[in-house]
Chains A and B, each alone.
Chain A
Amino acid sequence: AQSVTQLDSQVPVFEEAPVELRCNYSSSVSVYLFWYVQYPNQGLQLLLKYLSGSTLVKGINGFEAEFNKSQTSFHLRKPSVHISDTAEYFCAVKFNRSGGSNYKLTFGKGTLLTVNP
């Protein structure tokens, strides 16, 4: 079965500390991978994406993620977080079924990142 797992529901960190939010997926087909951020009472904003090419992708706000095909992971990292990074982060996967024409995203349950002073 195809699924997306975010291993941590909550991650508290101190300001200026590094952070890693973990995402694993289960799939027998190729994938496209995305991280979205949702600030309180707002919609989803795309942080970064992996479609093809370099497995290390850089996104907005200093975030980056690395696609690891053998470990079926797409962990999100930031070397130094700010208070303003406090938000919920969602990993999303598009499973590329052959002949498929639908492009729905399957989301993880989300990780609430709380940055404390």
Chain B
Amino acid sequence: DSGVTQTPKHLITATGQRVTLRCSPRSGDLSVYWYQQSLDQGLQFLIQYYNGEERAKGNILERFSAQQFPDLHSELNLSSLELGDSALYFCASSVGRLAGGARGNEQFFGPGTRLTVL
């Protein structure tokens, strides 16, 4: 158990809909990362937040957005869903370099949310 929790575990929805994925980081971790895992693209970095602020963006579509709340949990919002958005979405957390030095680079992953768009 990594200490990172994600809900829901599974999500089945239709094209055009909007969903919200939730992540709670490990206690004390300030950084949250979102990754998408699909068969064709593999594991892709989407976005990072550090202590409530966006720090980096990867291959995140404009239809997707995220935020990190004062209690450090994060939500990933996916809208106007398409069939190709079906994937496993992982959240990871780390202490963050400022707090943990090089060790802050170590990321702990949650169990993921499997999104199926029909």
A-side residues, CB < 8 A to B, are: 32, 34, 36, 42-46, 49, 51-52, 90, 94, 101-110
Q: Which of B27-76 contact A (CB under 8 A)?
A: 31, 33, 35, 42-45, 48, 50, 55-56, 58
Write out the residue numbers on chain B whose beta carbons fall within 8 Å of the beta carbon of A44: 90, 92, 109
Measured between alpha carbons, how far is A43 from B90 in the docked complex, in Å? 8
- B105 with A51: CB separation less than 8 A: yes
A94-B105 CB under 8 A given contacts A45-B2, A102-B56, A103-B96: yes
Between A and B, 15 residue pairs with Cβ closer than 8 Å are A42-B111, A43-B111, A44-B90, A46-B109, A51-B106, A90-B43, A101-B56, A103-B33, A103-B94, A103-B97, A104-B56, A105-B107, A107-B43, A108-B42, A110-B43
B-side residues, CB < 8 A to A, are: 2, 31, 33, 35, 42-45, 48, 50, 55-56, 58, 90, 92, 94, 96-97, 102-112
